Amino acid sequence: MMNGVVNVQLTKAEEQIMQVLWELGEGTVQDIRDRLEEVKPARTTVATVLTILENKGFASHTSQGRVNVYQPLISKEGYSKSQLSGLLKNYFNNSFAAMASFFARENNYSIEELDLLIKDTKEELNKEQNDK
């Protein structure tokens, strides 16, 4: 599975199916359909979206008899990173501070919550540095 930055945007339907595929690790059309919300799309719809995801390089499948088992080719982390990078670039002029202050204002974060966020971020970055 690739972890790198992905330059492809998924549609809402594609992203919903990828979320299930990332959660499962692998699955059949029926496995994926079973995990989707109450208004279940038709099997053919799920199969069509999976084919599109294969064409975009997000998923692949292996055949087990007459059943296809799908696996993600792109990690959730890699896709998340590309989406956040695009958001930062396209809406916040590549300024993390501008993006963070926007979310802080929109979510009405307190000073204490912001301090905790900074503390947690520093700890996570230190952990990543030590793991390398």
- Show the tokens assigned to 2: 């690739």
The whole model's pTM is what?
0.73
From residue 80, give the alpha-carbon distance in Å to each of 71, 74, 111, 128.
18, 10, 27, 18
Same domain assignment for residues 48 and 79? yes
Same domain assignment for residues 88 and 117? no
Domain that holds residue 132: 95-132
Same domain assignment for residues 60 and 119? no
Helix (H, G, I), strand (E, B) or coil at 130: helix
Same domain assignment for residues 118 and 59? no
Distance CA 132, CA 129 (A): 5
Q: Splitting the chain (132 residues) into consecutive groups of 10 residues, what average pLDDT does each group show?
A: 66 94 96 89 94 96 95 93 86 84 85 86 84 77
Burial 109-127 (b: 16+ CB within 10 A, else e): beeeeeeeeeeeeeeeeee
Same domain assignment for residues 87 and 129? no
Same domain assignment for residues 72 and 127? no
pLDDT the model gives residue 120: 86
pLDDT the model gives residue 26: 96
Helix (H, G, I), strand (E, B) or coil at 31: helix
Total domains, the chain: 2
Strand partners, 62: 69
pLDDT the model gives residue 7: 67
pLDDT the model gives residue 72: 97
Same domain assignment for residues 53 and 24? yes
CB 78 within 8 Å of CB 6: yes
CATH number at residue 67: 1.10.10.10
